[in-house]
Amino acid sequence: MTGQEFSMSHWPFITAAYGVFVALMLTDFFTARAGRSRLLRELAARQRRAKQRAAP
């Protein structure tokens, strides 16, 4: 194997490594963001229900 062939055979590993990085970072990003948005929606719904119960 020539030096260039040796180097080129590394790209599938590099692509897979960057793919893992992007996939795990996106998972972390969306999990963190979704948790906050979901809780805010839940608390808003709870607040609305409490207001409806309190109304005459």
Partner 1 sequence: MNALTLWFHRLGSPPTFYAFADRWRPWLLWSGLLLALIAAVWGLAFTPADFLQGESYRIIYIHVPAAWMGQFVFVLMAVSGFVALVWRIKVAEIMAIAAAPTGAAFTAIALATGSLWGRPTWGTYWEWDARLTSTLILLFLYFGVIGLYRAIEDHRKAARAAALLSIIGLVNIPIIQYSVYWWNTLHQPSSIQVLEARSSIDPSMLWPLLIMALATKLYFGWAALTRAQTLLLEQESGKDWVRAIVTASAAKQGDMA
Q: Where does this chain bind partner 1 (CB under 8 A)?
A: 3, 6-11, 13-14, 16-18, 20-21, 24-25, 27-29, 31-33, 35-36, 39-41, 43-44, 46-48
**C-alpha span between 44 and 38 (Å, rounded):** 10
CB of 51 to partner 1, least distance (A): 10
CB of 53 to partner 1, least distance (A): 15
End-to-end CA distance of the chain: 84
CB of 56 to partner 1, least distance (A): 21
DSSP code of residue 1: -
Q: What tokens were used for 53?
A: 């119960």
